[in-house]
Chains A and B, each alone.
Chain A
Amino acid sequence: MADIQTNLATNSPVNAEPVEMLLNMGPQHPSTHGVFRMVLWVDGEKIVDVEPHIGYLHRGSEKLCEGEQYHQVITLFDRLDYVANFNNELVYCQAVEKLMGLEVPERAEYVRVILCELNRIASHLLYVGTIGLDAGAMTPTMFAFRGRERIQSVFEAVSGARMMHNYFRIGGVKEDLPDNFEQLIAELLPPLREDVEESDRILTFNEIFLTRLKDVGTIGPEEAIDFGFTGPCLRGCGIEYDVRKAHPYSIYDRFDFDIPVGLDGDCWDRHWVRVQEMYESLKIIEQALEQMPGGEVVSSLGRRLIRPPAGEVYMRAENPRGEIGVHLISNGTDRPYRLKVRPPSFCNLSAIRRLLTNSWIADSVVILGSLDIVLGEVDR
């Protein structure tokens, strides 16, 4: 409390006695992107201090994992980052495969990559829609959701569910792509590219949008690394770090794509990186479709009970929000002994106090939106 008082005294825009006011934001605030609560100490329109409260969506996923068999844990991973389900499934499956030394069929790897990149676009489109809302634009949301809907119809045709797919398996995928997949994807990609371009055109260089986002929530590269930033938030600061390139997993070393990098580390740079990433994902999908071989997709394990050898493994992957890590400890039984998730949203959110202090109340929503958090992953 004492440092808040000094903060108030030093940061007060006027020399009069500062008046402290507590402003509760959330957990039911529409712009907190879930159930996230911030207690803001404000002096006029200026934020003096922030206290974030998380845990409203805590479901104990990590503990639940210890009670489920290895093939059941995939359903829990679907529900961590619930806008990028395939990416979550991928990292868990790869962790178990690494522990067991399991080979994945070639075609299954391509199927996984295509679906993951489609999911990355879907996730970023949702982000574009919500950042538009946060900055006061209603229209981009409708456009972005139209594009996302197209992707989700394809997901439904492939996996049977629009969001909680449970499609990846340890050592492969559940079943082969549907017979009409080629037609579906050929019908999907051209309008999807248009949707991405449209959301880019309507928002990125819009005057009002630029004014709202440029030089807001700036964070330097060193500080970003200290806070554990990953993904678009880190790349927005000008650091070229992408797990897909730095530590290639799956078959990402076979594709030719660039890592978009921002300059200043402000909200607009983070936005720009995400928009550019959608184009890169489209590039990856097109290459993967060209290279995709035929053959088996189902795991060589068949329906046998999965019992990895005792030991521990750490696997990381690039999610739309950043680097997700899975630390899996097995004691040789059919259930994980311990499963720790390193969620990207949680680490990115840890900088919220640093970013919001000394900014305006009106900017708090945009700054939070530009971090693109998913509370299912923050609280787990």
Chain B
Amino acid sequence: MLNSVKGMMLTLASTFQGLKKPVTREYPKTPTPVQPRFMGFPALTWDSDVGEPFCTGCMVCIRNCPTQCMSASMMDNPLQQEGQSHRRKIVDYFEINLNRCILCGICVELCNFDAIVMSHEHEMSTYERNGDRVALPALLEIGQKYQRETKWIPPTVLAKAKKDAEDAAKAAKAAEAEPAGAAQEAD
């Protein structure tokens, strides 16, 4: 009997706490914000410096996809022939079947050209059976939205900047460690 009263008190306390500060969200009206690392559907990125996709259609992601949800082909890059781009090859056709995709992120990890990202897009129900087979233009659109929203910087550029900073720090340390006299001589 006493136990039941105790349990009821706990329930009442939680109820009042919940009324004060609700834990649940009314989902379609107030969507839950996603974390920065959230892995939504994969999308392709756009190199706005040149005005072409990062993707060269090299097929690394396709060979390593556990569910074979992607397909692509490459072509000679017309912009390279005009001398505007350093990419000799460029993606011609790219399709991801988002119904098959398991959002594992292996493609992003293995891409050599920063061309594919896990976007924050996760609501993509459609009315057709094959409505979730997304082709190149739509993928680039999702990718550009992601790039805009997160102020995306290519991971290789970030890694290079980090390495340069580390090297600079190391060099500064080495210069400090040198005897002061040697440094003066150098001046």
Are A and B bound to each other? yes
Which of A18-26, A121-129, A155-163, A309-317 lies at the interface with chain B?
A: A155-163
* A160-B118 in contact (CB<8A): yes
* A75, A149, A208: residue with the most chain B Cβ atoms closer than 10 Å: A75
* A201-B38 in contact (CB<8A): no
Which A residue sits closest to B67, measured CB to CB? A75
* B109-A160 in contact (CB<8A): no
Is B171 close to A, CB under 8 A?
no
Which residues of chain A come closer than 8 Å to B37, judged between CB atoms? 156-160, 178
Complex interface bits, B20-37 against A, C-beta within 8 A gives 1, otherwise 0: 000100000000001111
Which residues of chain A come closer than 8 Å to B106, judged between CB atoms? 71-72, 75, 166
Q: Which of the residues B10, B34, B105 comes within 8 Å of A202, measured between beta carbons?
A: B10
Which B residue sits closest to A76, measured CB to CB? B66
* A161-B109 in contact (CB<8A): no
CA distance A207 to B118 in the complex (A): 50
Which residues of chain A come closer than 8 Å to B23, judged between CB atoms? 146, 149
Which B residue sits closest to A71, measured CB to CB? B106
Is A28 close to B, CB under 8 A?
no
Which B residue sits closest to A210, measured CB to CB? B3
Q: Contacts A72-B66, A207-B3, A207-B4: A157 and B110 contacting too (C-beta < 8 A)?
A: no
* B3, B4, B104, B118: residue with the most chain A Cβ atoms closer than 10 Å: B104
- The tally of residues in B whose CB lies under 8 Å from a CB in A reads 24
Which B residue sits closest to A150, measured CB to CB? B23
Q: Which of the residues B1, B11, B39 comes within 8 Å of A139, measured between beta carbons?
A: B11
CA distance A153 to B33 in the complex (A): 10
Is B73 close to A, CB under 8 A?
no
Q: How far is the CB of B63 from chain A (nearest CB, A)?
A: 9
Q: Which of the residues A76, A156, A198, A202 comes within 8 Å of B38, measured between beta carbons?
A: A156
CA distance A159 to B38 in the complex (A): 8
Which A residue sits closest to B65, measured CB to CB? A72
Which A residue sits closest to B38, measured CB to CB? A160
Q: Which of the residues A146, A149, A198, A205 comes within 8 Å of B10, measured between beta carbons?
A: A198
Which residues of chain A come closer than 8 Å to B102, judged between CB atoms? 75, 164
Is A227 close to B, CB under 8 A?
no
CA distance A197 to B118 in the complex (A): 37
* A160-B35 in contact (CB<8A): yes
Q: How far is the CB of B67 from chain A (nearest CB, A)?
A: 8
Which residues of chain A come closer than 8 Å to B104, judged between CB atoms? 75, 164, 166
Which residues of chain B come closer than 8 Å to A143, judged between CB atoms? 14
Which A residue sits closest to B23, measured CB to CB? A146
Is A69 close to B, CB under 8 A?
yes
* A75-B39 in contact (CB<8A): no
Which A residue sits closest to B6, measured CB to CB? A201
Which residues of chain B come closer than 8 Å to A164, judged between CB atoms? 102-104
Is A174 close to B, CB under 8 A?
yes
Q: Contacts A159-B37, A160-B35: A75 and B66 contacting too (C-beta < 8 A)?
A: yes
Is A206 close to B, CB under 8 A?
yes
Those of A142-188 within 8 Å (CB) of chain B:
143, 146, 149, 153, 156-161, 164, 166, 174, 178
Complex interface bits, B74-117 against A, C-beta within 8 A gives 1, otherwise 0: 00000000000000000000000000001111100110000000
CA distance A149 to B3 in the complex (A): 28
Which A residue sits closest to B63, measured CB to CB? A69
* A174-B14 in contact (CB<8A): no
* B39-A205 in contact (CB<8A): no
Q: Which of the residues A68, A146, A157, A202 comes within 8 Å of B66, measured between beta carbons?
A: A68
Which B residue sits closest to A143, measured CB to CB? B14
Q: Contacts A139-B11, A166-B106, A198-B10: A160 and B4 contacting too (C-beta < 8 A)?
A: no
Which residues of chain A come closer than 8 Å to B7, judged between CB atoms? 202, 206
CA distance A205 to B2 in the complex (A): 12
Is B150 close to A, CB under 8 A?
no
Give 11 A-B contacts (CB < 8 Å), ordered by A residue: A68-B66, A71-B64, A139-B14, A149-B23, A157-B37, A158-B37, A166-B104, A178-B36, A207-B1, A207-B3, A303-B110
B: residues with CB less than 8 A from A are 1, 3-4, 7, 10-11, 14, 23, 34-39, 64, 66, 102-106, 109-110, 118
A: residues with CB less than 8 A from B are 68-69, 71-72, 75-76, 139, 143, 146, 149, 153, 156-161, 164, 166, 174, 178, 198, 201-202, 205-208, 303
Instruction: Please provide the 5 A-B residue pairs with the shortest distance between their CB atoms, ordered closest to farther.
Output: A160-B39, A160-B37, A72-B66, A157-B35, A166-B104
